[in-house]
Each structure stands twice: as C-alpha cells, then as structure tokens.
Amino acid sequence: MKVLVIGSGGRENALCYAIAKSKRVDKIFCAPGNAGISKYAECVPIGAMEFDKLISFAKEKSIDLTVVGMDDPLAGGIVDEFEKAGLRVFGPRKNAAILEASKAFSKDLMKKYDIPTASYETFTDASSACEYLKNAKMPIVLKASGLALGKGVLICETLEEALDGVHELMEDKKFGDAGNTIVIEEFMTGREVSVLSFVDGDTIRIMSSAQDHKRAKDNDEGLNTGGMGNYSPSPFYTKEVDEFCQEHIYQRTVDAMKAEGRPFKGVIFFGLMLTEDGPKVLEYNARFGDPEAQVVLPRMKNDIVDVFEACIDGTLSDIELEFSDEACVCVILASDGYPVSYEKGFPICGLDRFEGKSDYLCFHSGTKFNDAGEIVTNGGRVLGVTALGSSIREARKKAYEACDWVNFQNKYMRSDIAKAGEEAELNR
C-alpha cells in the first residue's frame, strides 16, 4: 500500500520510520518532509495547509492511507476534507481536534465531566483578566487558548509578570490569534508525565509513558520550548498512577467527546501532572507529541499501520499494544538561541555514523538539502538524537555519546535529559 504522511518535523520523521517497518507498505510520501525524512519517504513540496493540493496528490498517486502528524491541519479540518474526497485518513476531524485547538474548550470539558485538572478561569478581554489576577495566588499559569507550537504557556511568579503576560498574549499578540482567548490556571506542582494513546471513538489504547523536558536550559530553567528531549518509559508513571488515570481520565475523556457529539479518532496526548492530590490533566494534544513520538515509536512492536486502520474502522478493541522492555532517550540538538532567534543554513556533519545501527537513531526536525546537496540546519530544533538501551542509564549514555558524533555551527543541547529518570531507576 501507499502511505502519505503530512508534516515536516521530528514527529513526522519518527512516523515515517515506524511506517517503513510495516510489511504492508510499499511506498511512503511525505509532504513537505525534510532531509532526514527522505531516507524513508519521497518528499513532496506541498505545504501541510494546502488541502486542495494534498487531496489532488493523494488521488493522483492512489494513496491508500494518509497520516496527519501536525496540529494546524487537524485543527483546520484536513481530515474532514480528505473524507469528503473519499480518501482514507488517520486523525481527528475538526470538531474533535478542538480538544487541542481550544484550551478553553478542553478545560470546560474536563470541568463538565469531572476529569481532574487545575482550577481555572477563561478570558477574552485583557482588562478583565488583569482585574482577576490582582486577587489571584502566585505563581500562576497563563495559556493562549489556541495553537501556539507548544509554546503558548507562561508561568508567572509575580503579579507584575502575570500582568505583562496578559498584555503579551492578548494585546501584543505574541502567538497571534491563539491569544485572543486565554486561560488563567492555578499553578500545580509535581512531576509532569506524557502519555500518548490511540482512540477509535469508543476504545482507547494507552501507549508507553514518556517524560518531556520543555525548558530550554538545564535544571528546567529558561524559556518554554517545543521540547528539548524525552525518554520512555517514565519511572514516575507507576501502576497506581496508571490505574487512577484509566478510571478517572482516559476513558472518561473519550466518552466525554462522544457525548458532546465529537467522537475522537486518532491520537490523544495526555499531558499529566502528578500532584500530591493525584494525577491531573495539564493539557490535551490531538496528535503525537514531538519529541514523544521519537522515544515511544521505536519501542512499539505492533505494525503501526494496523493500529491506524483499527482507529479509522472502530476496531481498536481487537488490538493490544506491545512495547519492548528497552528504554529510549532522545536529546534534541538545537540551534543556539532557540526558541527566540537563531541562524539557519549551517552544514551538518557526522550523520553517516548512524547508518546500520538499529539502537542509534537520528530524527530530523529542522533540516533541508542546500543547493550543493548538503544537509543543513533549517530550524530551532534541528535533530533528535535517539538511543535504545536495556535501562534509562544505558540509553542516556548512548544518546549523549551519539550527540558527539554530530556537529554544526551553533549546536546547542541540554546536558541533563533523562538524568532524573536515571536517578529514579537507580533508586528503585
């Protein structure tokens, strides 16, 4: 069969890697793709939001299945348009993708269906938000309700920071229209854990847990980013945590979406906070995380195409997900200055070191070929250097070893990815 993947980042590189392992797949296309994705797929110069062109291409090439990796096209209704054209597509429809596209919607959904989350208020007017903040407990969290590339969250320690944050989001439009509505939320403390799941509208199947590192600098300092590294499984996601989430969060979310007339088919990403009062939902995403996909998919034993089709057909209850006992660690190599400003176009050397090594992987996030045919940097997050090992400690050691294989001008990375996981593993 022929598969089309839509997107251009590390998540889509991981998806193409997983799809390429399927014995059912003869050919993969990716639109628009990147330099690393070209190892697994034929890259097509069509943007992720060019729905008409993508549909025409899918028809022309007799694509059997389209997999949408990115949030923007999902929120824009790409699945609805593909379905109208009679094309088979994996991902939530627009009315279900709102679970991520509107934090105001998702918070109201959790409140209505008694899904544990932080207390909050929603605002569409900056002056009202500022008045509310004057009597609020600090620190506090401000969230742009719309899509903001995973960066539209401000953690404010003081009232002054919070007031500045409101102006940044709602008046200065730092994240564009995403900040037209904001959610002001209590600041929760605890350990964050990421859990991805497949959903077919009724049934949910949980993938292995993962642990993200959102801040730009070591010790979780610096600005929020799209993610500076990840590892799987998380030693903090215990059997007790899983049992609580299965009962109070996972299935309840699926049932709530169905009850609202928005049945969800695709991937739900649960961002959890393990608080003293138990697990609570920080946020939902309506697709694979990036770089969560880079550490979860290499551990998945199932044929991913079978799982995609089960979600589409409503037969997910027939599938049990299987993951290897190995640990997986991904360290993001970024352009120095990310997530604010950075230069592009620097040649990358050392990528050939990954060839023929199944336990070392390099997923491309922001790369392209230049006119000379060299692979060069083309984004803030450039590469996801990933390694598998018998333990978090071994996988972490191997991932950082592999980071030294690769070089480009202005290369930057955190030095503490998976360090807490390694320590927790050793203290078991």
Per-position DSSP letters for 329-396, written without gaps between them: EEEEEEETTTTT------B-B-GGGGTT-TTEEEEESSEEE-TTS-EEE-SSEEEEEEEEESSHHHHH
Q: Which pLDDT does position 427 carry in this prediction?
A: 83
Q: Which pLDDT does position 224 carry in this prediction?
A: 86
Q: How many CB atoms lie within 10 A of CB 347?
A: 13
Q: Which pLDDT does position 202 carry in this prediction?
A: 98
Question: What is the bridge-based pairing of β-strands 42-43 and 27-32?
Answer: parallel
Reference 154, options 227, 223, 71, 234; nearest CA is 223
Amino acid (1-letter code) at residue 122: T
Q: Which pLDDT does position 148 carry in this prediction?
A: 77
Q: Which pLDDT does position 280 carry in this prediction?
A: 97
Architecture of domain 327-426 in this structure: Alpha-Beta Complex (3.90)
Q: Is the fold of 2-93 the same as that of 327-426?
A: no
Reference 163, options 126, 111, 190; nearest CA is 126
| CATH number of the domain located at residue range(s) 2-93 in this protein | 3.40.50.20
Q: How many CB atoms lie within 10 A of CB 42?
A: 14
Predicted TM-score (pTM) of the model is 0.93
pLDDT in tens, the chain (428 residues): 999 999 999 999 999 999 999 999 999 999 999 999 999 999 999 999 999 999 999 999 999 999 999 999 999 999 999 999 999 999 999 999 999 999 999 999 999 999 999 999 999 999 999 999 999 999 999 999 988 776 788 889 999 999 999 999 999 998 899 899 999 999 999 999 999 999 999 999 999 999 999 999 999 999 889 999 999 999 999 999 999 999 999 999 999 999 999 999 999 999 999 999 999 999 999 999 999 999 999 999 999 999 999 999 999 999 999 999 999 999 999 999 999 999 999 999 999 999 999 999 999 999 999 999 999 999 999 999 999 999 999 999 999 999 999 999 999 999 999 999 999 998 87
Residue extents of the structural domains in the chain: 2-93, 119-186, 191-318, 327-426
Q: Which pLDDT does position 370 carry in this prediction?
A: 97
DSSP string, 246-276: IIIIIHHHHHHHHHTT---EEEEEEEEEEET
| CATH number of the domain located at residue range(s) 191-318 in this protein | 3.30.470.20
Judge: domain 119-186, CATH 3.30.1490.20.
yes
